[in-house]
Amino acid sequence: MNEKILLHMCCGPCSITTVQTLQDQGYEVTGLYYNPNIHPLTEYAKRRDGCLEVAEKLGFKVLVKDGEYRPQDWFRAVAYRENNRCFHCYANRLERTASIAKRGGFDCFSTTLLYSKFQKHDDIAALGRDLEGGKTRFLYHDFREGWKEGIALSKEWGIYRQQYCGCLYSENERYHKELRTE
Ligand code: SF4
């Protein structure tokens, strides 16, 4: 019997080769869209819809946690810790993923954040291992190996491609050149 994995999904493009890799390895994939770190809400919705399009293409289901989209809680979690905000952001999303995976009887959980060259893999792996429990383990895989193919497929399939990581801080960093200096 195939192992069941709950895969936290941050966006469509990061999910494509991640899910293909897992399916090729024989995992039964269920996606989870839980991302209170994505601002504003319209951006959150575009990325959610991108995930659902990928799920349709690759034939797996996604649990969508729109009811838990509360940016105010996320901002409280990172307040005064902005310089280390990514760690707390990973923790927030992985904790929720692990909790649902354990309750749902999944064999393992992982995240499409491990597809990104911009995320801190060591932090994500350490957090994931800390959250293992019962029969549910964290699956670390370096999904960056599918980076180029994932980009090409996301363009070919017309999946929404974001321009910044997710939070307002990252949007500010991405577009700070728009600010006039004088
Ligand atoms: S930059 Fe990305 S990972 Fe870091 S806090 Fe913002 S949304 Fe989260």
Domains of the chain, CATH where assigned? 4-178 (3.40.50.620)
Q: What confidence tens digit (pLDDT) does each residue in 136-159 have?
A: 999 999 999 999 999 999 999 999
Beta carbon of 165 within 6 Å of any ligand 1 atom: yes
d(CA 47, CA 158): 12
Q: Whose CA is nearest to atom 5 of ligand 1?
A: 86
Instruction: Annotate 32-60 with DSSP letters as a single string.
Output: EE--TTS-SHHHHHHHHHHHHHHHHHHT-
Q: Of all atoms in ligand 1, which is nearest to the CA of residue 86?
A: 4
Beta carbon of 86 within 6 Å of any ligand 1 atom: yes
Are the C-beta atoms of 34 and 8 separated by less than 8 Å? yes
* Cα(52) to centroid(ligand 1), Å: 22
Write the CB contacts of 10 (distance below 8 Å, at least 6 apart in sequence). Answer: 35, 38, 47, 93, 111, 112, 113, 116, 166
* Cα(26) to centroid(ligand 1), Å: 31
Q: Whose CA is nearest to atom 6 of ligand 1?
A: 167
Report the length, in residues, of the chain.
182
Q: What is the mean pLDDT of the chain?
A: 97
Q: Which two tokens stand for residue 140?
A: 């670390």
Beta carbon of 62 within 6 Å of any ligand 1 atom: no
pLDDT computed for residue 76 by the predictor: 95
107 burial level (CB within 10 Å; 0-12, 13-18, 19+)? middle
Position of tokens 């029969």?
135
Q: Of all atoms in ligand 1, which is nearest to the CA of residue 166?
A: 7
- The residue type found at 124 is I
Q: β-strand 61-64 against 108-111: which pairing, if any?
A: unpaired
pLDDT computed for residue 182 by the predictor: 73
pLDDT computed for residue 1 by the predictor: 77
d(CA 128, CA 171): 26
* Cα(49) to centroid(ligand 1), Å: 20
DSSP3 helix / strand / coil % (the chain, rounded to 5)? 55, 15, 30
Is the pLDDT at 131 greater than 80, yes or no?
yes
Nearest Cα to 110, choosing from 39, 1, 19? 19
pLDDT computed for residue 172 by the predictor: 96
Instruction: Annotate 95-153 with DSSP letters as a single string.
Output: HHHHHHHHHTT-SEEEEGGGG-SSS-HHHHHHHHHHT-BTTBEE----GGGGHHHHHHH
